[in-house]
Amino acid sequence: MKKLLRFLKDYKKECVLAPLFKMLEASFELFVPLVMAAIIDKGIARSDEPYIVKMSLIVISLGLIGLVCSITAQYFSAKAAVGFATKVRHSLFRHIESLDYSTLDKLGTSTLITRMTSDINQAQSGVNMVLRLFLRSPFIVLGAMVMAFTVNVGAAMTFVVTIPLLSLVVFGVMGLSIPLYKKVQLGLDKVLNRTRENLTGVRVIRAFAMEDQEIEHFNKENAELTGMSMHVGRISALMNPITYVIINLATVYLIYIGALKVDVGTLSQGDVVALVNYMSQILVELIKFANFIVTVNKALASGNRIQSIFDVKPAFSRADISGDKSLDGHLIFDDKSGDYAIEFNKAGLAYIEGGDEALSNIDFKVKKGETVGIIGGTGSGKSSIVNLIPRFYDATAGEVKVFGANVKDYVLDSLRQVIGDVPQKAVLFKGSIADNLRWGNSNATDEDLYKALDIAQAREFVDQKEGGLSFMLEQGGRNLSGGQRQRLTIARALVRQPKILILDDSSSALDFATDLKLRTALKDMGGDMTTVIVSQRTSSIKHADKIVVMDDGEIAGMGTHEELLKSCEIYKEIHESQFKGVE
């Protein structure tokens, strides 16, 4: 949590003024019992009405000044806390965006969402409470004891015994509850993960009539969270009754001692009222401090969890990497770049905590302008191969080259600027069709967009939408069909006019006729764009210059369609299962 305090550096003034005005409020509050004592001993005892009115006005003035100080302190503390949370949220989001796929896979989506929402809100509340009460409550407690000594030293000794006992209770409860709040937050992660899975897969759950089972699983995890929350809540709840008992016993004793001293004339009635008021102030402040401790405990646990994400470093840096090549859209190929756009040299990949290698001994080359198809069964490593090209994952063995240089020697942004990647899952964002397409190239004209739509076979349905390119998409493109979403993601990649186009099973929702038109349009583009097509259909890759057949993370065959039908049994089986009786 300490490291997060760097986000308060722009709010130094607020961090000083908020406690300062709270201290001023507390100072005025400490004078009230003395004024009340004077009213009783001098005003009421002597029936001096003018004196009573004068001192009453002083009490009202102290209250109004304290109110102004309190509101001012609240303003500064809220400003600092909200600004702190805003900066943490921005920085955390930026940091998450910099993390590589492997790290994101390890952390999990639900964990990151919890950090961005619940944990930051808890940290914000903690900062707010610290600025308001961290100095005020101890100041009131100690100040009340000091003021009690100015009233009567003997009676004030009650405060000397009471305050350490109360401190022992408060800090003891704090020491027990902080570790438990960390477990509560971890339990919240599990519940959120279960909730997210259910909301994302609600159609599948209903299709298989698994609602009751999922409700049972949710109830089990929610019950665990509830149990942990109740356990730590019980411990925290001990604070109020124990402090009440100690304070009330101290108050009773104080009244008893005060009565004896009043009887012998060493203490006035007003002084007794003042001492009781000071004890009451301590009670109120300790109740506030108890709530403060609970909030701060949660904030500390949340702050440490947020910092744990900041402490996670990406597998590779986005900083400039030294090298004599830079793919920046203005690349002029020299002799060193060679004839190959993509090269895999004995490349391998093992996912974090994934056990065995997902890829091993991947070795092939793709010339500039060629089209290469990658096919294989589910889990054979097709997507893993193409994820190594834009460096979504780093090869754990061998090397991957793009235009003659290892991908690790390029600046990430410049490498990805020349790669058009269309992932398996068509992901679109809320906004217009034009806005989504311009993710490929923010400077693209409408003519560029329509050209990409024509090639992606998406022009027809876009023109039918109200507003055409201005048609607004819902989050995730929910108001489009699966095939329409896929074609728009292909068009988005084409808008970039990439040197390398990766289609990772991105035409699976297209019918055979549309798929054929798409492949024909890509071929007719000409130029030196290298195309990598991952597909489950042999029809989608049969005309590729080279086909790589994957099986269990290794290359099982490589060649043209005709060559593989003769030499690769796996490819032959895939083809015949799709076209048996057709050809």
pLDDT of the residue at 327: 46
Answer yes or no: is 288 within a domain: yes
Averaged pLDDT, 565-581: 83
Q: DSSP assignment of 379-437, as one string?
A: TSSHHHHHHHTTTSS--SEEEEEETTEEGGGS-HHHHHHTEEEE-SS----SEEHHHHH
Other CB atoms within 10 A of residue 464 CB: 9
Confidence of residue 237 (pLDDT cuts 50, 70, 90): confident
pLDDT at position 20: 92
Number of folded domains in the chain?
2
* Contact indicator for 81, 124 with CB cutoff of 8 Å: yes
User: Which of 477, 497, 517 represents a domain boundary (last residue)?
Assistant: 497
Same-domain status, 304 and 429:
no
480 inside domain: yes
Any domain includes 73: yes
With 60 as the cut, is the pLDDT of residue 168 above it? Answer: yes
Please state, for a pLDDT cut of 70, what percent of the chain lies above it: 94
How is residue 443 annotated by DSSP? T
pLDDT band at 381 (very low <50, low <70, confident <90, very high): confident
Residue 353 lies inside a defined structural domain of this protein: no
More confident residue, 284 or 454: 454
- What CATH code is carried by the domain that includes residue 437? 3.40.50.300
Of 310, 341, 373, the one marking the end of a domain is: 310
Residues near 368 by beta carbon (within 8 Å), at least 6 away in sequence: 339, 340, 341, 528, 530
**Residues 542-568: what's their mean pLDDT?**
90
Q: How confident is the model at residue 334 (pLDDT cuts 50, 70, 90)?
A: very low
Q: Is residue 394 part of a domain?
A: no
Domain check: are 24 and 169 in the same one? yes
Query: In this predicted model, what pLDDT tens digit does every residue of 556-567 receive, in sequence order?
Result: 999 999 999 888
Which pLDDT tens digit goes with each residue over 465-498?
A: 888 899 999 888 888 888 889 899 999 999 988 8
Rounded average pLDDT over 162-180: 79
Owning domain of residue 56: 2-310
pLDDT given for residue 321 in this prediction: 39
DSSP bridge partners of 372: 532, 546
403-418 residue pLDDT tens: 888 888 887 777 888 8
Tokens standing for residue 317: 């840096």
Is residue 54 one of the residues assigned to a domain? yes
For residue 135, pLDDT over 70 is answered with yes
Q: Is residue 529 part of a domain?
A: no
What pTM was computed for the model?
A: 0.70
- pLDDT for the residue numbered 274: 87
So what's the pLDDT on residue 325? 46
Q: What is the CATH number of the domain that holds 194?
A: 1.20.1560.10
Q: Which residue has the tokens 């068009």?
A: 491
Residue-by-residue DSSP string for 336-378? GG-SEEEEEEEEEE--TT--S-SEEEEEEEEETT-EEEEEEST
Are residue 165 and residue 290 in the same domain, yes or no?
yes
Task: Check residue 353 and give its pLDDT.
Answer: 66
* Average of per-residue pLDDT across 303-323: 70
pLDDT above 90 (res 88) = yes
CB hemisphere CA count around 523 (13 angstroms): 13
DSSP three-state, residue 534 = strand
The percent of residues above 90 in pLDDT, for the chain, comes to 21
- What pLDDT score does 578 carry? 78
Q: Could you tell me if 40 and 165 lie in one domain?
A: yes
Residue 398 or 184, more confident: 398
In a domain, 342, yes or no: no
- For residue range 90-113, what is the model confidence (pLDDT) as tens digits? 999 988 888 877 788 778 777 888
Whether 303 and 435 map to the same domain: the answer is no
| Final residue of a structural domain among 497, 530, 551 | 497
